[in-house]
Structure 1
Amino acid sequence: MTTLQEKLFQKVTEKEEKMIAIRRYLHENPELSFHETKTAAYIEDFYKGKDCLVKTKIGGGNGLTVDIIGKQTKPHLAIRADFDALPIQEDTGLPFASKTPGVMHACGHDGHTAYMMILAESLIELKDELPGSIRILHQPAEEVPPGGAKTMIEGGCLEGIDHVLGIHVISTMDTGNIYYHAGPIHTGRATFKAVLHGKGGHGSTPQEANDAIVAAAQFVSSVQTIVSRRINPFDTATVTIGSFDGRGSANVIKETVTLEGDVRLMREELRPVIEKEFRQLLHGICEAFGLTYELDYQNDYPVCVNDQKLTELVKEAVINANIPEVSHVEDCGPQTPSEDFAYYALERPSCFFFVGAHKEGTPAYPHHNPKFYLDEDCLLIAAKAMASVSLFYLTKGAE
């Protein structure tokens, strides 16, 4: 007798070419966070005429939910895929490269959406055999705070949901490998913009000026002591100055300097410590140099924490599925990027795991790079991985 998993695997395998075509269409037509109206309409149109319940404009944004009701409503699992792009000029040379100047799917969200649409279509076709129900979360705006996850949660996307699962394809992890980790999996984040105001002048008479560049340079060096001297060496945290805008003439002392950057942390308890030290250092240095300043310091994505029990279920499900395209299933440990999937994990026991997307023998460009590339073989693997975990979850939950 053919099992439900075998039927589902067969369906997504038969639709692999369609999955890749969807991914390429989305890749050619990227839209930035909070502006994904055409993408949302494309996804909505895909579900027309299918035996499912679709809700649009979740929380007033571009998000959609798709409910696939099985033989019973419980357990009710949510599985999430994001669909926004980035303000990056593509430099891949692909025949299906972005048609929109300055905008690119440089993080794999086009792949997430493509595999999820085909998996959802296949689940709908088998819905009468499902021992529970599944809600697809098509989420916009992962890349830009406050993030689409927060908006969707506020719009009720988790009402009636027991647990949430998500996958990210990773261009620096080998295709054929699936990775998981229980506990903190992604860092929390804060961003900042500091504008330092001094007194401009001429390089020949520095005594008559008040150099904002010197003060800003002192701050750039000093702010690193937060991690080296205020954070436990066994904790993970970073403070990055990503932009130092003090451009001017070579012989002119700059009056104003703007610094921008971000903070990452792996324990929420570190957040207030870092912010306090940051503010104290900035205030003290500006006082010492006789400068004034403006600071916009924004705490956004929390630390993403994978539920221990659900992560064990994910591991067991993927291993037991014996997916032909999967070579290894392993614990990857915590990862340093930040993810707004963290908001789902605050609301429901959740698990966010990874599918390798780097083809052996090719360059491995990181995410958010103009040359970012994902091996499209990862799409079928992602679909089968999420399929196996979802069915395993519904079966165990129904027992």
Structure 2
Amino acid sequence: MDHLQTQLFNKLQQKEADMIAIRRHFHEHPELSFHETETSKYIAAFYAGKECDVQTNVGGGHGLVVDIHGGKKGPVLAIRADFDALPIQEDTGLPFSSKIPNVMHACGHDGHTAYMMILADSLIELKDELAGTIRIIHQPAEEVPPGGAKGMIEAGCLDGVDHVLGIHVMSMMPLGDVLYHKGPVHTGRATFKVIMQGKGGHGSTPQDANDTIVAASQFVTAVQTIVSRRIDPFDTATVTIGSFDGKGSANVIKDSVTLEGDVRIMKEETRAIVEKEFKQILDGICRTFGIHYELDYANDYPVCVNDEPTTEMVATALTEAHIPEIKQLVECGPQTPSEDFAYYAKERPSCFFFVGAHKEGTPMYPHHHPKFYIDEDCLLIAAKSMGAAVLHYLSKGV
């Protein structure tokens, strides 16, 4: 085990420059969810001629599944990396900034794919010494529901798989920290769009109109009582109105307003409570103001739940690996964003953990920000961390 780990880490160290070059290529050439044609081709070309089995266009999209068969029998472990970008105009000033207007890798998926490709390449070179099979899941479309994970699972990417692992690099966590949490680790999500339709009119004769601006404003305020008065204070839930489209003339009573937003929950049973109360408040306010509404309320990503034994295995592997680039291993608690890795975790015992990417003394920007930035030293840490977990799992299991 120690000898094999040393070999793997040496290979990763020697290929760190390649890892960074791949990441920068993806960063310069980002593609949006469900449109990652060239990204998928690049990944497929990387594996061409290597001793592995490659499936392309998995799930009817741009996903790839790469199987690395060890020289000895053993379990099947899937490790996943996503590769889609976001509709954001980059404002980092990096020499390898996005060349695509209004598209940017603002979440770190370019880094996920780069570290995973080099890790896979290194594991292929050591495959005869491995006991079991490693399935690399290169997943598109994490950012946009229904998400790429769902389609890939339906296409069979987890067939025969025993456990699943994944990593997210985090721009708001310190470089050198690797972080994990047992149990619910990412929120579940719902999104909604409400169109309120009333009767327009002139500001001088409000009695002849049904004002949707007033009704929508009442709704925005009232819907916050779901969290404050219907959810257990020890539970987690948010209701966000992210868009209020009611622009019009100063002296005209608007006949229609469109609201859009999202819901986050940390327990699946809370999801039904929020949806019921949301619809009840909406219906009541619209009845009160004598207006109609159209509602599109879509539940999408589930709560992402880390299997406790699998997560404990990862923590043990990282502790025993003594990776010099890791300063500390941290139990970080649950994280509020949502993540479609949750679909894998529903199907197989899984662990989704985090690698810090913020270098002390440099500006810090959150994910999905035009100035989003990760220190590229995090890539080697991610590769070694996942590599250590893979070797530990194949040799000792969970």
Task: Write the letter of the residue equivalent to 1:142.
Answer: E
Q: What is residue 211 of structure 1 aligned with on the other side?
A: 211
Matched, 1:262 2:262: yes
In the TM superposition, what are the counterparts of 1:293-332 in structure 2 within 5 Å?
293-332=293-332
* Preserved contact between residue 32 and residue 87 of structure 2 (Cα < 8 Å): yes
Per-residue deviation, 1:2: 6.7
Q: What is residue 178 of structure 1 aligned with on the other side?
A: 178
* Preserved contact between residue 72 and residue 128 of structure 2 (Cα < 8 Å): no
* Preserved contact between residue 59 and residue 155 of structure 2 (Cα < 8 Å): yes
Output the TM-score relative to the length of structure 2: 0.99
Per-residue deviation, 1:74: 2.3
Paired with 1:365 and 1:106, the residues of 2 have a C-alpha distance of 10
Matched, 1:138 2:132: no
Paired with 1:126 and 1:2, the residues of 2 have a C-alpha distance of 14
Partner of 1:337: helix, strand, or coil?
Answer: strand
Partner of 1:379: helix, strand, or coil?
Answer: helix
Cα 1:2/1:275, change in 2 over 3 Å: closer
Paired with 2:96 and 2:255, the residues of 1 have a C-alpha distance of 46
Paired with 1:258 and 1:242, the residues of 2 have a C-alpha distance of 11
Matched, 1:237 2:237: yes
Task: Write the letter of the residue equivalent to 2:101.
Answer: P
Paired with 1:373 and 1:390, the residues of 2 have a C-alpha distance of 27
Per-residue deviation, 1:201: 1.0
Partner of 1:344: helix, strand, or coil?
Answer: helix
RMSD: 1.0
Paired with 1:149 and 1:375, the residues of 2 have a C-alpha distance of 27
Partner of 2:268: helix, strand, or coil?
Answer: coil
Q: What is residue 60 of structure 1 aligned with on the other side?
A: 60
Q: What is residue 95 of structure 1 aligned with on the other side?
A: 95
Unaligned runs of 5+ in 2: none
Q: What is residue 226 of structure 1 aligned with on the other side?
A: 226
Task: Write the letter of the residue equivalent to 1:381.
Answer: I
Matched, 1:371 2:375: no
Output the TM-score relative to the length of structure 1: 0.99
Paired with 1:57 and 1:17, the residues of 2 have a C-alpha distance of 29
Per-residue deviation, 1:250: 1.1
Give the share of equivalent positions with the same residue, in percent. 73
Q: What is residue 3 of structure 1 aligned with on the other side?
A: 3
Partner of 2:283: helix, strand, or coil?
Answer: helix
* Preserved contact between residue 27 and residue 105 of structure 2 (Cα < 8 Å): yes
Map Cα deviations across residues 260-298 of structure 1 (whole Å, 9 max, x no partner). 000000000011111010000000000000000000000
Paired with 1:315 and 1:91, the residues of 2 have a C-alpha distance of 36
Q: What is residue 35 of structure 1 aligned with on the other side?
A: 35
Paired with 2:294 and 2:2, the residues of 1 have a C-alpha distance of 65
Cα 1:2/1:216, change in 2 over 3 Å: closer
Partner of 1:25: helix, strand, or coil?
Answer: helix
Q: What is residue 390 of structure 2 aligned with on the other side?
A: 390
Per-residue deviation, 1:392: 0.3
Map Cα deviations across residues 32-74 of structure 1 (whole Å, 9 max, x no partner). 0000011000000000010000001111111000000002342
Per-residue deviation, 1:77: 0.2
Map Cα deviations across residues 98-135 of structure 1 (whole Å, 9 max, x no partner). 00001000000000000000000000000001122100
User: Which contiguous aligned blocks of 4+ residues in structure 1 show a shift greater than 4 angstroms?
Assistant: none
